[in-house]
Amino acid sequence: MAMPGYVEKALQRFQHPSPARPQHSPHAWVPPSYGVKIQLTNETDLSPPLDKAGITRLQEVIGTLLYYARAVDSTMLVALCTLASAQTKGTEATAKAVTQLLNYSATHPDATVRYHASDMHLHVHSDASYLSESKA
């Protein structure tokens, strides 16, 4: 499965320029502190809130990329889930995270899922997600 040209059209729609450096991570990460007994959650986002136009743009980008991520490129799903939980009260930090996701999309525009027949039996059960929601 593939959706050639979908990301390029989305980047044109949102007038997102090509990144100066390739972005290989769809979202920011906090390096683990090995040996520390208590791992603390991220600090509360205190950046200024976005105006209505900024929040609308945020929602459009999330909706457009969520369609693509569910169909083809599942590497974006964690970042999109985090952004979707913050989209109604978006801040400048949320807009920065959307820019990183768009840079990642521009770096890796044409994901492909290829299925091959095999004798393998795959059983999957997924019912929960650990620390993927805000204030978790």
Q: How far apart are CA 80 and CA 47, in angstroms?
A: 20
Residues in the chain: 136
For residues 38 and 112, the answer to whether their CB atoms sit within 8 Å is no
The SS3 assignment for 60 reads helix
- What are the pLDDT digits (tens) for 98-108? 999 999 999 99
Mean pLDDT of 76-95: 90
In angstroms, what CA-CA distances link 116 with 1, 111, 119, 120? 12, 17, 10, 11
Burial 28-60 (b: 16+ CB within 10 A, else e): eeeeeeeeeeeeeeeeeeeeeebeeebbebbee
43-58, pLDDT tens digit by residue? 788 889 999 999 999 9
